[in-house]
Structure 1
Amino acid sequence: MPSIHGRLVRNGEGTPMGQFVPSGKFGRIFPTLQPLIPPLAALEELGRAMKDANPADPKGDNEDIPAGFTYLGQFIDHDITFDTTSIQEVQVDPLALHNFRTPALDLDCVYGRGPGDQPYLYQLPPNDALFLIGTTSANTPGGDPKVQTSLPFDLPRGPQSLAIIGDPRNDENLIVAQLHLAFLRFHNKVVAGLQNGTITPPPSATQSSLFEQARRLVTWHYQWIVVNDFLRKVVDPHVLDHVLERGRAFYLPKGDAFIPVEFSAAAYRLGHSMVREAYDFNEVFTFKPSPRQVVPATLQLLFNFSGRSGVGVPIPSDWIIDWRRFFRFPNDGVTAGLSRRLDPFLAPTLAEIPDHGVLPGVNLPIANLKRGRSLGLPSAQNVARRMRIEPLSPKDIAKGPDGAVAEKHNLHVETPLWYYILKEAEQRGGAKRLGPVGSRILAEVFVGLLELDASSYLASNPQWKPTLPSAKKGDFAMTDLLSFAGDLSPINDPKNVKP
């Protein structure tokens, strides 16, 4: 829960803003930079130009980042931010926005306030160190009737079919819901390992309860994944190493951490560009040839199979995810699907999100651009210059059909930060990772959140290395977490298939 203490928000040079605000707020890294307030009509035209015209073209895939990292990024976002304010066309003071998540990589989206305060997330005593796990329902009509039903591979749900979890947003699409489930299962496996002696408690928690020992191990391994697996894929690794070794230069809170709007409303919205229009979800729901193939796992279907849609829950057994198709597991004979390139183009379903019960109909690029305007984000060029980074030239920004629209409205000279981050990734990151401005913002904020959290491994034990049995030579990746949790492809497991 947010602290009752306040903090004095400062800018990157350490100059006080002169405003004392409570913890749990958003803030700015560059509060002295002037906001960019383009005409709304210009943003609307630019947003409409950010639709991917060829969403199935493999040339638009990012060979360096498997598809699962798109949704790991969304899961991480839900762990550190929860802004309940609506998108507005008038300016909003970010210091007046409340962040209903703790600005820390502490998995409060999974653990909530723990079994003492939120016992409905956990099993009954004496097993209250374990999470509840939900079960699947009957298979999809026309799907694979041979998959057993009532398998333990859904989120726990109440009588209205809504998930009983620490953050309801993790039940908005099926992939992130299955990822949340993977963390529940991972925690339960760690608890079992502590009980049977195959896992050693962390030194900092040897006198703690079984639940707290497991929570510390799970959280530290997750934090390691964020820095050394997720970040190293989406940012320039040289920038990340520079921040880790030489320290932060711009994100410098004095006191409690906060979430900068330059991060939440711009740089960390990179994931919207990574989303595919359809996924190779498992052998039944895929766009790849398969004896069990029924239909592709379209983005629209993945929204439908969620508690927030009120349609496909509890999930049918044949919709259990095959993680081998989302992350690269060594020597498993299955090719992981890819995310889309980091560029200014979004999948058509995101460019025109229909009203499907989860969100009202909205053009996501336009919504993002308007959000940046309402929060008074500075131009990307001013941010780059403040960071002593040479900005993209107007000529570079004007490239492509999107760039032509930017040039038409003079946005190639003073550019909205979110759009620029994607354009910079395309121009300077080879469309495979973020460029220098985006990389620096992400690296500083994520490292800062860990360094400002006294309970994180980076703050309390910076020499710590992953210790779980699936860790490899002191490293730990998302594939290791999923392997330890087990059941990578349940619908291919003979015990889950009827003869």
Structure 2
Amino acid sequence: MKDANSADPKGDNEDVPAGFTYLGQFIDHDITFDTTPIQEVLVDPLALHNFRTPALDLDCLYGRGPGDQPFLYQLPPNDALFVIGRTNATPGGGDPKVKPSLDFDLPRGPQGQAIIGDPRNDENLIVAQLHLAFMRFHNKVVEGLQKGTVAPPSGLRRSLFEEARQLVIWHYQWIVLNDFLKRVIDKDVLENVLEKGRSFYLPQGDAFIPVEFSAAAYRLGHSMVREAYDYNEVFTFKDGPRKAVPASLRLLFRFSGRSGTGVPIPSDWIIDWRRFFQFQNDGVTAGLSRKLDPFLAPTLSEIPDHGVLPGVNLPIANLRRGRSLGLPSGQNVARRMRIKPLSPEDIAKGPDGQVAAKHNLHLETPLWYYILKEAEQRGNSKNLGPVGSRILAEVFVGLLECDASSFLASNPQWKPTLPSSKPGTFTMTDLLRFSGDLSPINDAKNLLP
């Protein structure tokens, strides 16, 4: 499953900008937090414990709020605002002309670990900067409510923090449903679930995260990861006057609190969002994610022991976890959903398929691998196929419908109210533009004379 041509642009997914890979990771950290080691799971999926509320409520961002976790927020009377961290006081080695100590890092303790609602959002630099973007988004909404430029949510008057929190969460939920999901799954499947209802994800009590989702279908993002990124004008694989080195996966893991090195981040490692999401008329082309197929960036097969993960081959870890959980085969799930399964010949296609067939895995295929193979064979490597799309559509719609405070459950006719490029909708591009500072290292006020 190692991508032998990881730098070949033919392997890029033209429909999905690179930022959605890490938005997917951020969403995962919002709804799941399983701390159960593989060896303790055995074959009992009930041994899994989800320590994250299975709702799209941004508890990874807000924690338990300023009352219970005041260290995430500024001191009164500004306790509706997040504390924002500062970059390193030492100039960066890529471009020392970028001013040090800029407010574009996560807040950190004396040992460099991020003081945030979910420490997993500091395991690589892109998801850390995305977490920071949501913190800055919340703060901008608070400021807009104070100035009267942002309309408060309808209903009973609440505290400034709670009003901002609802606006942020509902706009985020809209993005998950209408921007993220519509890019990575079959749109027709999503529309079918929204219009005709769910058939398979039917919680009898509280909402939960099915193992078919968490251990297989939603691990689609591992296929989307690039080996290196056009991160900003300094750390890029593109030529330019400020280019230092490409932003490789290894460097992105290094500049995180969980690696134990590289933090606070140097100022020249502040992200340029224009290179991760599509903005109009800015003269910069957004980078792309990799295609949805069974091939993963080489570094994911040899993640070093650097504090984030204890030296792991990610594809093998995923397959072992699926086996430990006793996941059904992809063919069994397809049959249960009354979807025609991939044929043994479909699974056996390509160099990866030949290895699968050698071990008879083309007959009953591990679910995670099946989902990626189905994306390749039936989604044209641009989006998930029918089984993967159905799992994601049912679970995400179900999580929203089971949450009485979500916009879909409490006010299904609601439309986004914050400024956007297209009234009545809201995208990640709109969120980042509203927050401002899309490319801080190109802003003259952040550069030394």
Equivalent residues in 2 for 1:79-158, closer than 5 Å: 79-88=30-39, 91-138=42-89, 142-158=93-109
CA shift for structure 1 position 469 = 2.1
> What letter corresponds to residue 121 of structure 2 in structure 1?
N
8 Å contact 1:88–1:370 — kept in the other structure? no
> What letter corresponds to residue 413 of structure 1 in structure 2?
L
- For the pair 1:459 / 2:409, whether they are aligned, the reply is yes
1:75 maps to 26
8 Å contact 2:13–2:290 — kept in the other structure? yes
8 Å contact 1:144–1:284 — kept in the other structure? yes
Match of 2:428 among 471, 478, 484: 478
1:337 maps to 287
**Distance 1:359-1:207 versus aligned 2 partners, 3 A rule:** same
CA shift for structure 1 position 139 = 5.4
CA shift for structure 1 position 470 = 3.0
> What letter corresponds to residue 293 of structure 1 in structure 2?
K
Cα distance in 2 for partners of 1:353, 1:308 equals 14
> What letter corresponds to residue 106 of structure 2 in structure 1?
L
Deviations 1:380-399 (A, max 9, x none): 10100110100001001001
> What letter corresponds to residue 110 of structure 2 in structure 1?
P
8 Å contact 1:186–1:484 — kept in the other structure? yes
CA shift for structure 1 position 87 = 2.0
CA shift for structure 1 position 471 = 5.8
- For the pair 1:376 / 2:326, whether they are aligned, the reply is yes
2:391 maps to 441
1:492 maps to 442
Cα distance in 1 for partners of 2:40, 2:164 equals 45
> What letter corresponds to residue 74 of structure 2 in structure 1?
Q
Residue aligned with 2:4, SS? coil
2:112 maps to 161
Deviations 1:159-216 (A, max 9, x none): 1110000000000000000000000000000000000101111113x41100000000
Cα distance in 2 for partners of 1:81, 1:131 equals 23
- Please, which moves more after superposition, 91-100 or 113-122? 91-100
Residue aligned with 2:139, SS? helix
CA shift for structure 1 position 408 = 0.8
Match of 1:346 among 270, 293, 296: 296
CA shift for structure 1 position 142 = 3.4
Match of 1:256 among 206, 216, 222: 206
> What letter corresponds to residue 188 of structure 2 in structure 1?
H
Deviations 1:433-491 (A, max 9, x none): 00000000000000000000000000000000000123622000000000001100000
8 Å contact 1:139–1:318 — kept in the other structure? no
Equivalent residues in 2 for 1:7-406, closer than 5 Å: 50-88=1-39, 91-138=42-89, 142-204=93-155, 206-406=156-356
CA shift for structure 1 position 250 = 0.3
Which sections of structure 1, spanning at least 5 residues, go unmatched? 1-49
Cα distance in 2 for partners of 1:378, 1:203 equals 45
Residue aligned with 2:312, SS? coil
> What letter corresponds to residue 339 of structure 1 in structure 2?
S
> What letter corresponds to residue 51 of structure 1 in structure 2?
K
CA shift for structure 1 position 352 = 1.5
Equivalent residues in 2 for 1:414-425, closer than 5 Å: 414-425=364-375
> What letter corresponds to residue 334 of structure 2 in structure 1?
A
CA shift for structure 1 position 292 = 0.2
CA shift for structure 1 position 88 = 2.6
CA shift for structure 1 position 92 = 3.5
> What letter corresponds to residue 367 of structure 1 in structure 2?
A
8 Å contact 1:89–1:370 — kept in the other structure? no
CA shift for structure 1 position 423 = 0.2
8 Å contact 2:91–2:98 — kept in the other structure? no
**Distance 1:484-1:141 versus aligned 2 partners, 3 A rule:** closer
8 Å contact 2:7–2:227 — kept in the other structure? yes
8 Å contact 2:419–2:430 — kept in the other structure? no
Cα distance in 1 for partners of 2:7, 2:89 equals 31
8 Å contact 1:55–1:277 — kept in the other structure? yes
8 Å contact 1:121–1:164 — kept in the other structure? yes
Cα distance in 2 for partners of 1:470, 1:140 equals 35
TM-score for both structures, normalised by structure 1: 0.89
CA shift for structure 1 position 96 = 2.5
8 Å contact 1:139–1:147 — kept in the other structure? no
Residue aligned with 2:14, SS? strand
CA shift for structure 1 position 225 = 0.1
Cα distance in 1 for partners of 2:420, 2:195 equals 27
Cα distance in 1 for partners of 2:433, 2:59 equals 23
Residue aligned with 1:88, SS? helix
> What letter corresponds to residue 84 of structure 1 in structure 2?
T
- Please, which moves more after superposition, 401-410 or 218-227? 401-410
Cα distance in 2 for partners of 1:181, 1:471 equals 22
Cα distance in 2 for partners of 1:272, 1:140 equals 33
2:379 maps to 429
> What letter corresponds to residue 262 of structure 1 in structure 2?
E
Cα distance in 1 for partners of 2:27, 2:181 equals 11
TM-score for both structures, normalised by structure 2: 0.99
**Distance 1:405-1:291 versus aligned 2 partners, 3 A rule:** same
- For the pair 1:411 / 2:361, whether they are aligned, the reply is yes
Deviations 1:380-428 (A, max 9, x none): 1010011010000100100111101111111101000000000000000
> What letter corresponds to residue 196 of structure 2 in structure 1?
R
8 Å contact 1:372–1:417 — kept in the other structure? yes
Deviations 1:129-178 (A, max 9, x none): 00000001145653111101111100001111100000000000000000
Cα distance in 2 for partners of 1:372, 1:96 equals 13
The root-mean-square deviation of aligned C-alpha atoms, in Å, is: 1.0
Which sections of structure 2, spanning at least 5 residues, go unmatched? none
1:40 maps to none
CA shift for structure 1 position 331 = 1.3
Cα distance in 1 for partners of 2:316, 2:350 equals 18
